[in-house]
Amino acid sequence: MFGFYRLAAASPELRVADPAFNGEKIIEAALTAERHHAAAVVFPELAVSGYTCADLFHQPVLLDKSLETVIAIANATAQKNIIIITGAPFMFRNAVYNCAFILQHGTVKGIVPKIFNPNYREFYEKRWFKSGRNIRNMEVSVPGLDYNVPFGTDLVFESGRAFKFGIEICEDMWTVIPPSSCLTIAGATVIFNLSASNELVSKAEYRRQLVEQQSARCICAYAYTSAGVHESTTDLVFGGHSIIAENGRTVAENERFHRDSSLIYADVDCARLLNTRISESSFADAELPENMQFRYVKMGKVNTAADLKYTTITQHPFVPQDQTVRDCRCREIFSIQAAGLAKRFEHTGSQKAVLGISGGLDSTLALLVCAETFKLLRKPASDIIAVTMPGFGTTDRTYNNAVKMCKLIGADLREISIQAACLQHFKDIGHDLKVHDVTYENVQARERTQILMDIANRERGLVIGTGDLSEIALGWSTYCGDHMSMYAVNCSVPKTLIRYLIHWVADSSGEKLCSVLEDIIDTPVSPELLPNTKDAAVNQLTEELIGPYELHDFFLYHCVKYGAPPDKIKFLAEKAFAGVYTSEIIVKFLKLFFKRFFAQQFKRSCIPDGPKVGTISLSPRGDWRMPTDASVAAWLEKM
């Protein structure tokens, strides 16, 4: 559903050289994975026979019984949709191959031989198996089957546009150019690895890194599973390690050394992987070696899992859930912002930073970045000109917080009321003061920007923009008002992350500044452009007008980063915000998001310079190039 597929990795109980027993355990695990709606389940290398059979692999009894068991597994699961990938020895012509058998609907869909057989230290696979390197474009007759089976290392198995998979076996992944690199170039979005990797001190961590790195390099899902503790312990111990990674991140992993059968699951987004390949990397430039062709094996219908039980759809995709990771991310973002601004000051020779300070989140973060930048440049904080410009909607809370913060930081605080200037402007253009429309609001925003620009000219300064990524996406700014600056430090920081950045700074600040920053974090978001009520309460809450920023940031992330269509975004949002927002609310603001995102592109086409800090930026000079007159109709139809 929407490109999600549930993968399973199994490491079952085993008896060495007892295919009948092993087959029963494989069937048992496969049926369990089927009940969990897995599309495919992978078993360890030589799971049918056992990996540690050694010279018994030369015995026809073991070879014949292993093949008989593979067919029995296929027959036992013939009425199921699950794809089974299991390891077994296979004799072809005058050699034995270490193979993966791909089974579905009672049929052996393909046989993939291992390419790299290790022959060092404790491994002597070349004694028993031949490399399948040259097995390509071939079909074989399998005893017990009345049809020929595709055989070779050139097989890609496909079920739909997004779910295509390839196979590599253990050592194949550890080589200089793993087969999975070519398989993914050929279209595979999932790689299954059947392994029998023994346990050594620290080897598990290295193994995990290999899986993560290969899944990142190939922009794929990678399901790895290894032989377990019931293999022979003559000289080695196997831990039954299973890992599922998705584009560089482990999404499921078991505990090693389990005595019972182990099964892990992960719901991976193959559609997202495809989109990432075409939009965020040079993946498409990778080419297969000359004369390397692949065959595509059609699979039958596979299971789907609408519940997405085995994945995490976070409400705040821009914000790491782990506090340690989040703090590290905040430190890095803050450093990028300050480094970018410092370079701009060095290049322009500007003397002062000039910014409007409202007591809101965005201007607070911009001021903190300026303070950090001036520390880097060994300039006094007094060279930061922070201008508070009370208007018709300014509240005591935001005003007092702005004043306190500027004084504690040591900035040059200046107060310039915009009311008289705006009243004069209303008179000049013939606008009724009682009409609180967009003109009423934008006059104030443009007046503030004019003041900042003029101060910057007089003081040889730079006007520092405060607008954030969420506002840029929605066009929630006044054209040539707060939309414009000389350098915009927050331009790729989303609203949901700004609170955490300020909190991170607060944690390392003095008690008084920390208290002010925490109160700013707790203040409702408002442009404060409309007159307040008698009790001085905020009369204009942004999120009541355009919807919750956490929803819009969620929409932005999945739309821009992964190209998810609106119906998929709705599906994901309903999962992520279950119990928080109704489906009706999600659809309402999703429509608003797309309408504004398309309609407000003209503002993004001429935004100021500013540093990219995350994987999403809407700069027209790099990350996002969109015609200003593109129609949103097709997207609205997908709701």
Of 509, 543, 577, the residue that ends a domain is 543
Same domain, 290 and 344: no
Pairing of strands 221-226, 190-195: parallel
Q: Give the residue with greater pLDDT, 200 vs 532.
A: 200
Q: Is the pLDDT of residue 139 over 60?
A: yes
Same domain, 428 and 526: yes
CATH number assigned to the domain comprising residue 286:
3.60.110.10
Q: What is the pLDDT of residues 457-505, one digit of tens each?
A: 999 999 999 999 999 999 999 999 999 999 999 999 999 999 999 999 9
Same domain, 167 and 264: yes
CATH number assigned to the domain comprising residue 331:
3.40.50.620
Same domain, 203 and 278: yes
pLDDT of amino acid 535: 53
**Catalytic residue positions?**
45, 114, 170
- Cα angle value 539/532/356 (rounded, 5°): 85
Total count of domains within the chain:
2
Same domain, 327 and 265: no
Same domain, 359 and 401: yes
pLDDT of amino acid 545: 87
Whether 615 is in a domain gets the answer: no
- Describe the crossing of helices 323-348 and 361-376 by its angle, rounded to 10 degrees: 60
pLDDT of amino acid 533: 63
Whether 549 is in a domain gets the answer: no
pLDDT of amino acid 67: 98
Same domain, 334 and 448: yes
Q: What is the pLDDT of residues 330-340, one digit of tens each?
A: 999 999 999 99
Query: What is the Cα–Cα distance from 111 to 272, expressed in whole angstroms?
Result: 28
Residue identified by tokens 């079909």 is: 139
Same domain, 415 and 472: yes
Distances (CA, A) of 33 to 42, 98, 301: 10, 24, 16
Cβ count near 613 (within 10 Å): 23
pLDDT of amino acid 623: 87
Same domain, 242 and 389: no
Identify the band that residue 639 occupies on the pLDDT scale cut at 50, 70 and 90.
Answer: confident
Same domain, 32 and 108: yes
Residue 342, SS3 per DSSP: helix
C-beta of residue 498 within 8 angstroms of C-beta of residue 361: yes
Which phi and psi (to 5°) does residue 571 adopt?
A: -60, -45
User: Whole domain around residue 328: which residue ranges?
Assistant: 323-543
Q: What is the pLDDT of residues 408-452, one digit of tens each?
A: 999 999 999 999 999 999 999 999 999 999 999 999 999 999 999
Same domain, 407 and 501: yes
Whether 574 is in a domain gets the answer: no
What percent of the chain has a predicted confidence (pLDDT) above 90? 91
Identify the band that residue 605 occupies on the pLDDT scale cut at 50, 70 and 90.
Answer: very high
- Average of per-residue pLDDT values in the chain: 95
Whether 626 is in a domain gets the answer: no
Of 263, 298, 333, the residue that ends a domain is 298
- Describe the crossing of helices 361-376 and 511-522 by its angle, rounded to 10 degrees: 150
Q: What is the pLDDT of residues 524-562, one digit of tens each?
A: 888 777 887 655 555 678 888 899 999 999 999 999 999
Q: Give the residue with greater pLDDT, 58 vs 123.
A: 58
Query: What is the Cα–Cα distance from 226 to 11, expressed in whole angstroms?
Result: 6
Look up the pTM and report it: 0.92
Whether 236 is in a domain gets the answer: yes
Same domain, 220 and 100: yes
Query: What is the Cα–Cα distance from 330 to 4, expressed in whole angstroms?
Result: 31
Whether 189 is in a domain gets the answer: yes
Which residues neighbour 438 within 8 Å (Cβ) at sequence distance 6 or greater? none
Of 298, 314, 334, the residue that ends a domain is 298
Whether 158 is in a domain gets the answer: yes
Q: Give the residue with greater pLDDT, 123 vs 235.
A: 235
pLDDT of amino acid 122: 67
When pLDDT is averaged across residues 2-18 and rounded to a whole number, the result is 97
Query: What is the Cα–Cα distance from 228 to 206, expressed in whole angstroms?
Result: 18
C-beta of residue 158 within 8 angstroms of C-beta of residue 302: no
pLDDT of amino acid 568: 97
Query: What is the Cα–Cα distance from 442 to 186, expressed in whole angstroms?
Result: 53
